[in-house]
Amino acid sequence: MDNDIKRLTRLTAILTQLQSKRLITARKLADKFGVSNRTIYRDMKTLERAGVPIVIEEGKGFRIMDSYRLPPIMFTEEEANALLTAELIIQSSKDSSLIQLFSEVTGKVRSVLPDIILSKTERLEQKMGVSNTYIDQTPKSKYLIDIQKALVDCLVIRIDYTNKAGQCTQRSVEPFAIYSNQYNEWVLVAFCQLRQQLRSFSLVNIDKLLITNAGFEPQKITFTEYLNKAFGN
């Protein structure tokens, strides 16, 4: 019985992994659940027999057929509260596109929460707050979501940028990474085609942004290597 429960738990977790990742390997799943590759392949066969369309890409891993949609994930009270907390933190972020999109996400989640959990979450919401949400009046950026898409799709973006000295320039840049600094501002690290090197651009100072159709080859250096080089260990 215990083995059956463990397997059911593992199958459910594998479904969640497949839902959240485009491709995942048997090795990664085996390491995660402490089982053999053979066990993972048996699990995949079980899911297929249950009607889940698993696609195997040789040398790459497993994924779910693009047209297939899994049933909504059920949230526990603790998970719903964690999401509420994340929403409050996001509201204090200095990027309006992130705030708006995350609000839409949490709205969809709230729509599927059981009434008893939703009512508790709403009561908790009245008792929580993030001070930056209410007192921070500094300018916010609005291009984080667009930049994330360009970064993942390896597309050059054109920006109108005003530096700290008030100088306005137009740049074509290749997004490399994004991080939040000590002032809770989002910063884009990108290869500047004008300067021919990696440069940092505060999203607050980007006045205009356009995603082009021009692609680029990703940098060979990793983000961790960049951080160690720029800021030290």
* Together in a domain, 162 and 110: no
Contact in structure between 230 and 179 (CB atoms under 8 Å): no
Q: Which helix (H) or strand (E) holds 202?
A: strand 197-202
116 and 182 in a single domain? The answer is: no
Strands 155-162 and 206-215: antiparallel
pLDDT tens per residue, the chain (233 residues)? 446 556 777 887 887 777 766 688 888 888 888 889 899 899 888 888 888 888 888 778 888 887 666 555 667 788 888 887 888 778 777 788 888 888 887 887 777 777 888 888 888 777 776 665 555 566 778 898 899 999 989 999 999 999 888 999 999 999 999 988 877 788 999 999 999 999 999 999 999 999 999 999 999 999 888 888 887 75
Q: How do residues 66-92 score in pLDDT, each as one tens digit?
A: 766 655 566 778 888 888 788 877 877
Check: CB of residue 55 under 8 Å from CB of residue 22: no
Domains in the chain, number = 3
pLDDT, tens digit, 9 for 90 and up, residues 169-189 = 999 999 999 988 877 788 999
Same domain, 149 and 97: no
| Residue 70 belongs to some domain of the structure | no
22 and 49 within one domain: yes
Q: Give yes or no: residues 52 and 93 share one domain.
A: no
| Biggest distance spanned by C-alpha atoms of the chain | 69
Judge if 59 and 82 occupy the same domain: no
- Please, are residues 24 and 63 in contact by the beta-carbon 8 Å criterion? yes
In this structure, are 148 and 226 located in the same domain? yes
Q: Which residues pair with 178 in a beta bridge?
A: 188
Question: If residue 163 lies in a helix (H) or strand (E), which one and from where to where?
Answer: none
Query: Domain range for residue 207?
Result: 144-231
Residue 161 burial (CB count, 10 A):
20
Q: How far is the CA of 216 from the CAs of 96, 98, 194, 203, in angstroms?
A: 27, 25, 15, 21
Assess whether 113 and 163 both reside in one domain: no
Any domain includes 226: yes
DSSP label of 74: P
